[in-house]
Chain A
């Protein structure tokens, strides 16, 4: 028995296309391009308007420099920044703690359908609103200050990290889990020895990512009354103290960069 390969002797009956045109995809791209043009027209975003904007921006930057380094301002900024840091760390700690069981419940390969769908619905709800909107809600609910900021970021962390946890757990090798289950281990022991080792490194990555994200967001919840550097920043804007604004922005940049370095090291430890 031999396999007959197509050769020159038998030309193909019809020419076949390797890359047939996909008209649906083309129509979608065309639609997107048309909508962009339409939206720009409606919002009156024109080149002339852009030039005026650039001019304004130049003056603004001129008023920012040099950054304000008065002792009194620096102290104010330090206090605000420390509060932001505390908000970020607390929110990450509690958010992750709550996201663990939530993500586990949402993982469809380990929990029955009713549990995973309930958990998934909750995660979707937590992720619906931007942290600033949630922060406004909490400021109204529990009053001004850091507590509202922490609560808002806990909600954001639960939703985001919970979803990432669930997805990581769904990608694990069930063969390893099956082997641990076959030893007669109970559910929690299976989680600890069969599931956790497979996802731990990724979990640490998610937690660091969320802390990073919370650091940024903690500078923002203050704008709506949730405590931290955001309040100071907002006041400086409103008082046209653009040199103070620049100092604050530089401090935030420095902290985010510093954390970038630290997080790379932490990740390496948990590899």
Chain B
């Protein structure tokens, strides 16, 4: 167990980078209707690169959240394919779905920590997909997992908080715990649903920095839903703009112009002159 830098993936040394990464998320014809005939996602086709930070921007209710929830199947798509690590996530069931999920970390807008569990227990929740329920019941997490959880907490500056209850933390601290929980999963992909929307501007930047570092250090894709265009431009390697259930922009931050923003968000009174 090497934890020189706990945010970093243990050195595997895959130097030669192929042009198609197995961690690419290939979405084909993805459609979701919560009510029949009223699609929230309309046949989305997109390939999310298997590395770096991808930001999905767009107004509220445009299907951003539904899109990333379809990837880890917190939402079941109506039709379409989601290819990741050689599997079609859209069709997985039962045990196969759970074993796919455990390699996909998720970070939430409202942190979604189990409030009455301690911070360290919340981190160890990231290991639940790897152990039988009775070990969970007896809190018999492997020593390696426990030590790794402590090391991660130290790395994000929350070492002192390990045994405090999650509801004793501030928003920024909670979100860091949320990210650590995702890292504990040893994820091949991290999904973040509006991770900064409940935070103040300074903390938002800190959280985005952690996510950016995570993507770089562990060489995994991080997909972030975000409605703050400035943050998206500053941290993302690539931006996907959504409006009314379809993708209307897909490119590097430098290519995102006002006319795209007008198309994504509508109107233009809100843009700086």
Chain A positions near chain B (C-beta within 8 angstroms): 173, 175-176, 178-186, 188-190, 192-194, 197-198, 200-201
Question: Is B113 close to A, CB under 8 A?
Answer: yes
Check if A192 sits within 8 Å of B113, measured CB to CB: no
CB-defined contacts of B116 to chain A, threshold 8 Å? 197-198, 200-201
Q: How long is the Cα–Cα vector from A201 to B165 in the complex, in angstroms?
A: 14
CB-defined contacts of B133 to chain A, threshold 8 Å? 186, 188-189, 192
Q: How long is the Cα–Cα vector from A188 to B128 in the complex, in angstroms?
A: 10
State the Cβ distance, B247 to closest chain A Cβ, in Å.
24
CB-defined contacts of A198 to chain B, threshold 8 Å? 114-116
Q: Encode contact with A along B91-125: 1 for CB under 8 Å, 0 otherwise.
A: 00000001111111110101011111100010001
Interface of A is mostly: helix
CB-defined contacts of A180 to chain B, threshold 8 Å? 114, 125, 128
Check if B106 sits within 8 Å of A176, measured CB to CB: no
Check if B128 sits within 8 Å of A193, measured CB to CB: yes
Question: Is B74 close to A, CB under 8 A?
Answer: yes
Residue in B114, B130, B185 whose CB lies within 8 Å of A193: B114
CB-defined contacts of A200 to chain B, threshold 8 Å? 116
The chain A residue sitting closest to B72, CB to CB, is: A182
State the Cβ distance, B195 to closest chain A Cβ, in Å.
13
Question: Is B126 close to A, CB under 8 A?
Answer: yes
Question: Is B181 close to A, CB under 8 A?
Answer: yes
Question: Is B171 close to A, CB under 8 A?
Answer: no
The chain A residue sitting closest to B97, CB to CB, is: A184
> 7 tightest A-B contacts by CB?
A184-B129, A184-B102, A185-B128, A179-B112, A184-B101, A188-B133, A197-B116
Q: How long is the Cα–Cα vector from A180 to B127 in the complex, in angstroms?
A: 10
Check if A184 sits within 8 Å of B112, measured CB to CB: no
Question: Is B137 close to A, CB under 8 A?
Answer: yes
Check if B117 sits within 8 Å of A183, measured CB to CB: no
Chain B positions near chain A (C-beta within 8 angstroms): 72, 74, 98-106, 108, 110, 112-117, 121, 125-131, 133, 136-137, 178, 181, 185
* Given A176-B113, A176-B115, A198-B116, residue A181 in contact with residue B74 (CB < 8 A): yes
The chain B residue sitting closest to A181, CB to CB, is: B74
Check if A182 sits within 8 Å of B114, measured CB to CB: no
Inter-chain pairs besides A180-B114, A198-B116, 14 sampled, C-beta below 8 Å: A176-B115, A178-B108, A182-B104, A183-B125, A184-B98, A184-B99, A184-B102, A185-B128, A186-B129, A189-B128, A190-B128, A193-B121, A193-B128, A197-B114
Q: How long is the Cα–Cα vector from A8 to B204 in the complex, in angstroms?
A: 47
CB-defined contacts of B72 to chain A, threshold 8 Å? 182
Check if B121 sits within 8 Å of A182, measured CB to CB: no
Check if B125 sits within 8 Å of A185, measured CB to CB: yes
Check if B117 sits within 8 Å of A184, measured CB to CB: no
CB-defined contacts of A188 to chain B, threshold 8 Å? 133, 136-137
CB-defined contacts of B130 to chain A, threshold 8 Å? 184
Q: How long is the Cα–Cα vector from A190 to B106 in the complex, in angstroms?
A: 15
Q: How long is the Cα–Cα vector from A190 to B114 in the complex, in angstroms?
A: 11
Check if A179 sits within 8 Å of B137, measured CB to CB: no
CB-defined contacts of A189 to chain B, threshold 8 Å? 128, 131, 133, 136
Q: How long is the Cα–Cα vector from A183 to B106 in the complex, in angstroms?
A: 8
Q: How long is the Cα–Cα vector from A62 to B149 in the complex, in angstroms?
A: 71
* Given A189-B133, A192-B133, A193-B125, residue A183 in contact with residue B102 (CB < 8 A): yes
State the Cβ distance, A195 to closest chain B Cβ, in Å.
9
* Given A192-B136, A198-B115, residue A184 in contact with residue B185 (CB < 8 A): yes
CB-defined contacts of B131 to chain A, threshold 8 Å? 189
Q: How long is the Cα–Cα vector from A152 to B209 in the complex, in angstroms?
A: 62
